[in-house]
Amino acid sequence: MLITKVKTKEELLPALTGRVLVIPCLGCSQSYFPLEEFNRLKDELKASGANLASEVTFDYMCREDFTERRLEIYREQIEAADTVLVFSCGVGIQTFAGLLPGKKIVSGSDTFYVPGFPGFTPSEHDCEQCGECRMGLTFGICPVTACSKGLLNGQCGGAKDGKCEVDKNMACGWQRIFERMSALKGSDKGLKEGVQVRDYKKSNI
Amino acid sequence: MIREDFTKYKLKPAKELRELVSGKDKLLVVSCNKCFKEFVSIAEPEYQEAAEIIKTAGKNISGYIPVDYLCNQYLTEKILNKYKNEIENSGAVLVIACGLGIQTVSQTVNKHVLPGADSVWQNGYHGVTLSAEKCGACGECFLTSTGGICPVVDCSKGLVNGPCGGAKNGKCEVGKHRDCAWELIYNRLEKQGRTKGFIQEAPKLRNYRRNKFKLVDEYVKLIRAKRSEGFYGGLYPVELKELASGLAIEKFPEPDIVVIPLSQHAGLACEALVKKGDKVKKGQKIGETAKSPITAPVHSSVSGEVIEIALKKHPVLPSPALSVVIKSDHKQELDASVKPAGALDSLAKEKIAEIIKDKGIVGMGGAGFPTAVKLKSPKPVDTVLINGCECEPLLNADYRVMLERSAELILGLRLIMKAAGVSKGIIALEDNKPLAAEKLKSLLQGDASITVEVVKTKYPQGAERMLIKRVLKREVPLGGLPLDVGVIVNNVGTAYAVWDAVYNGMPLIRRVLTVSGETVPKKGNFEVLVGTQLKEIVKYCGITLKSDEVLKTGGPMMGVIQPDFEAPVIKGTSGLVVVKKHDIVESGPDCIKCGRCVEICPMELKPTFYVLLAKQGKYAEMENHGVLNCIECGCCDNICAAKSSIVDIVKQAKKLIREKKK
């Protein structure tokens, strides 16, 4: 699951040479594409002299066989274009570019990371797939993702009023763990027994 | 390439599991059906394995709860609520799921939650489907200048300004099995003749602060709020209502020939009351049956001569249906029965109900349930709800009726309320129709018996169940009817038709429908005679289909594809729309188990299973998974990342299950 944000006119304009084909990927469609901003940006680009010659819509660009088929359908438009301006997440753009290695591809959007696994619901919870789940010690709150520093052995001490020093909008993960432990009348014995060291190799299967 | 065998987590090793459960007993195990695994079986082997390990460690398992898509908080909370006692009495809860599932459970239950599995990283993380491509979601896409190869994730050092110089023979110095991303980038740019420009570009710095917690957090909250807005699930499709919303209702010219099917409603088909060669008049009853109470008569929409009674194409039924074909004499002579019956105040309750039955009035939203049957509710009813949501994209017929025929519509509602013996009426419409809402409200000023409810736009708001939940906060039981919660729901068109029947004596022989679509030359909202063949409308509106387009009767989401234009307009035809083909890819897996259909199903079903079970022919199991409760709204079809036609699968399964029961 991802969230994309369209780039600014200033950033895109220098890259848009010749006839430009615009392709928005509406795959994670419905609620996940910034349609309004996309339309506004197109108007701005046109007003600034970019030659947005045509536009075709893709969906689930990340699925190679869908994309291949669409390339077939829109062959004419693609061949006629000097530059293809793609609005999709990084996976989609790479899939597209991989199938058309000879074409100049411009990525129209930036991709942001959203908690929750691929394809499913955006979630308040996050999981980094570290491959060594420790939530048994931390009462079901993940220190790898809930602590902005990913500390495994307790708080850094920088939090103020329960908020993280890295980003004040974020709650301190270790305070949450402590509060939950107190609520469950749990014990921190397991945590204190040894120092937790992350094995990065585990996530590298 | 698409991979099907991704697994999000793996069971912890036996030694670790034993350590985990030490000091705990009476373990309640919650396991998740994995998404993105090869979808061949619903059963999960991990539980058996874990159970063995736990037992050999001398611990007891107090219960086992398998849940699909454990990370779906709304559904998971509902399921776990059913097991309150088991959870309360357990020593600890062991969750076999990815980190999301574990955290969802730990937030829901007030118990020590133990993770029974470790999550595993996959590529294609953010896309919906699994792929070989990776995206680091850095928030400042560099792909433009690198020929579409990502330096952030494909270069093991994440360098954004060029190679480190350590690569040998095109392989990375960090791991010899991986390609040097910068060499790949260079090769691709060379192919495109862009190397020179690239070298001259200014150095780039990564701005790690771009990935802001707040931005993402707000987005997540927004999406989640939208998802549960009013009712669970649903979609926000691009509506394109503006294509035809400003066009006033126009009378469609009377065709030379009308084809009137004897079955235009839910229930038993009519028997013809006329024969070939008979002269008929406009509004004359030409079909009826006394064999079942659930039926509605049909009437001639023109005056002229019956030229044929034969099996003809039907817009909804899969096989041809018996229809009366009438050649119009264009004299529009009215039948003697077409005359005003009286006014709201002068007519008795029973008389109104009788007129509604006699004039063949049915639900005009699409299902075509006879309105008279709804009025004879065996259960107490307190509210009549007029459904003006029209949540389907493109359609505007109901909107135009609400706007242009508001007074008649309100009178129609009053007639239905009187016939049903109900004192409360509601007209519900979505907030994308402010003009209609304003008009209705101004006409109803100072009237406490009828209220206008404006609800937030969301598909499928117009489904009875969703609307009742939203407006009246009542939950229609699964498999039940609105009557079960004391509500009669009628479409806007139906209420207008009731007015027409009582005040003009006109049976249901005409209706307003929207003709729209981005490529339709003459869009509009037309009042069309029932029986008008689609080809007449296609010709009149200048429709020519492109190779990737189809014509549908109804709306884009639930409408029926019309392969040719022979079928006629019937009482329930709310629109004629030209839409892009739902392209189905024959190759590749038909379900990648991404779970998006589960996420958006407003009936809270799990459409993903239907794809698998139908393939295996397990229809009884499909029934256990609630397939008969599906309202065929098309949300799952619309969002399916594997492009399966889930609704077709469901329709087929329903048919087979019902046939078996007979």
Q: Which of B8, B191, B224 sits opposite A122 (nearest CB)?
A: B224
Interface check B510 vs A, CB under 8 A = no
Q: With 70 as the cut, is the pLDDT of residue A1 above it?
A: no
The stretch B106-127 carries a mean pLDDT of 73
Taking CB atoms and an 8 Å limit, are A129 and B119 in contact across chains?
yes
The C-alpha angle with vertex B132 and arms to B127 and B134, in degrees rounded to 5, equals 55
% of chain A with per-residue pLDDT over 70: 88
**A97 & A170 share domain:** no
Give B527: exposed, middle or buried? Use CB within 10 Å, 0-12, 13-18, 19+. middle
Model ipTM over 0.90? no
Taking CB atoms and an 8 Å limit, are A93 and B143 in contact across chains?
yes
Q: With 80 as the cut, is the pLDDT of residue B494 above it?
A: yes
Fold of B9-119: Rossmann fold (3.40.50)
On whether the CB atoms of residues B491 and B387 are closer than 8 A, the answer is yes
Confidence of residue B131 (pLDDT cuts 50, 70, 90): low
For chain A, how many structural domains are there in total?
2
Query: Buried b / exposed e across B490-515, counting CB within 10 Å, b at 16+?
Result: bbbbbbbbbbbbbbbbbbbbbbbbbb
Taking CB atoms and an 8 Å limit, are A120 and B595 in contact across chains?
yes
Taking CB atoms and an 8 Å limit, are B124 and A15 in contact across chains?
no
**A107 & A7 share domain:** yes
Distances (CA, A) of A69 to A81, B130, B587: 18, 18, 11
Confidence of residue B1 (pLDDT cuts 50, 70, 90): very low
Q: Which of A114, A120, A128 sits opposite B216 (nearest CB)?
A: A114
Interface check B113 vs A, CB under 8 A = yes
- Could you report the per-residue pLDDT of B169-197, keeping only the tens digit for each? 999 998 888 899 999 989 988 888 888 87
Q: With 80 as the cut, is the pLDDT of residue B198 above it?
A: no
**Per CATH, is B349-504 categorized as 3.40.50.11540?**
yes
User: Which has the closest alpha carbon to B182: B234, B233, B237, B145?
Assistant: B145
**Side-chain half-sphere of A18: how many Cα atoms within 13 Å?**
13
A-B C-beta contacts closer than 8 Å: 293
**A71 & A109 share domain:** yes
- Could you report the per-residue pLDDT of A103-140, keeping only the tens digit for each? 888 888 887 766 665 445 566 777 777 777 787 788 87
Q: Which of A104, A118, A135 sits opposite B125 (nearest CB)?
A: A118
Residue A154 lies in a domain: yes
Q: Which domain holds residue A107?
A: 2-113
Taking CB atoms and an 8 Å limit, are B99 and A125 in contact across chains?
yes
CATH no. for residue A76?
3.40.50.2300
The C-alpha angle with vertex B289 and arms to B287 and B290, in degrees rounded to 5, equals 150
Choosing from A113, A132, A165, the residue where a domain stops is A113
Q: With 70 as the cut, is the pLDDT of residue B128 above it?
A: no
The C-alpha angle with vertex B230 and arms to B225 and B233, in degrees rounded to 5, equals 65
Q: With 70 as the cut, is the pLDDT of residue B232 above it?
A: yes
Confidence of residue B440 (pLDDT cuts 50, 70, 90): very high
Confidence of residue B372 (pLDDT cuts 50, 70, 90): very high
On whether the CB atoms of residues B357 and B372 are closer than 8 A, the answer is yes
What's the residue count for chain B? 662
Q: With 80 as the cut, is the pLDDT of residue B135 above it?
A: no
Interface check B339 vs A, CB under 8 A = no
DSSP class of B255: P
Q: Residue B253, preceding bond cis, omega within 30 degrees?
A: no
Confidence of residue B126 (pLDDT cuts 50, 70, 90): very low
Choosing from A91, A113, A135, the residue where a domain stops is A113
SS3 state of residue B82: helix
- Could you report the per-residue pLDDT of B279-324, keeping only the tens digit for each? 999 999 999 998 988 999 999 999 999 999 999 999 999 889 999 9
Taking CB atoms and an 8 Å limit, are A121 and B128 in contact across chains?
no
Amino acid identity for residue A181 in this structure: M
- List of chain B residues whose C-beta atoms are within 8 Å of the C-beta of residue A3: 216, 219
CA distance A161 to chain B (A): 18
Confidence of residue B97 (pLDDT cuts 50, 70, 90): confident
Taking CB atoms and an 8 Å limit, are B126 and A97 in contact across chains?
no
Do the domains spanning B9-119 and B349-504 agree at the CATH topology level? yes
The stretch B86-99 carries a mean pLDDT of 88
Q: Which of A1, A107, A121 sits opposite B126 (nearest CB)?
A: A1
Q: Which of A7, A91, A109 sits opposite B133 (nearest CB)?
A: A91
Tell me the whole-structure pTM to 2 decimals.
0.81
- Could you report the per-residue pLDDT of B571-630, keeping only the tens digit for each? 999 999 999 887 655 666 677 777 788 888 999 898 988 988 998 899 999 999 899 999
- Pull the structure tokens for residue B292: 């079942």
CA distance A53 to chain B (A): 19
Boundaries of every domain in chain B = 9-119, 151-208, 249-338+509-580, 349-504, 596-661
- Could you report the per-residue pLDDT of B332-369, keeping only the tens digit for each? 999 999 999 989 999 999 999 999 999 999 999 878 89
Taking CB atoms and an 8 Å limit, are A122 and B114 in contact across chains?
no
Residue A173 lies in a domain: yes
Taking CB atoms and an 8 Å limit, are B99 and A148 in contact across chains?
no
A interface test, pick of B9, B75, B98, B100 with most A CB neighbours within 10 Å: B100
